[in-house]
Amino acid sequence: MSRKKLSLPARSGADVVDDWPPNIEDIRAVLPVTDRNIFAYGHTIYNPGGGRLPLELIAHEEVHFQQQAEEGPVKWWAKFLADPKFRLDQEIPAHRVEHRVFCKYNRDRNEQAQHLRRLGQRLAAPMYGSLLTVNQAMKAIR
Ligand SMILES: [Zn+2]
């Protein structure tokens, strides 16, 4: 697979690569991964499907960069995969930032509500351990 580097807005320090992250086998052992998923590792966003990366998704991954900076991506990912509670603790702030950035650029109330529901469904899904209902997830994100 190619490793094409894409450029992002200057204010983002993130690199984007259309490839799988280095620990993809560990991730696959735990999570139902598809090539529509994107991954933060170190200071790189891995986007294997090469899909469009809206600003709010980049902002979400940047939260994970900050979280990983404390102990490094190897330890962070190990905990993230081993402990669904830790996973949720990391994902709630990332989803909150994602929704805040979306709302900043999309002033339509209906689109904002739809976005919140989409994020709630994502956070409540098996990918993150199914630890919440959709409504609980929406409350946590809002
Ligand atoms: Zn995330």
Token pair for residue 43?
């200071």
CA distances from 48 to 5, 40, 67, 141 (A): 12, 12, 22, 26
- Closest by alpha carbon to 57, among 78, 42, 36? 36
- Using the mean position of ligand 1's atoms as its centre, give its distance from the Cα of residue 75 in Å: 16
Per-residue pLDDT of 26-42, as tens digits, reads: 999 999 899 899 999 99
* DSSP string computed for 67-132: HHHHH-HHHHHHHHHH-HHHHHHHHHHHHHHHHHHHHHH---HHHHHHHHHHHHHHHTSGGGTS-S
Per-residue pLDDT of 33-89, as tens digits, reads: 998 999 999 999 999 999 999 999 999 999 999 999 999 999 999 999 999 999 999
Instruction: Enter the DSSP assignment of 110.
Output: H
- Using the mean position of ligand 1's atoms as its centre, give its distance from the Cα of residue 63 in Å: 8
- Using the mean position of ligand 1's atoms as its centre, give its distance from the Cα of residue 95 in Å: 7
- Using the mean position of ligand 1's atoms as its centre, give its distance from the Cα of residue 122 in Å: 10
Rounded CA separation 142/104 (Å): 13
Token pair for residue 28?
């696959």
**Global confidence as pTM:** 0.89
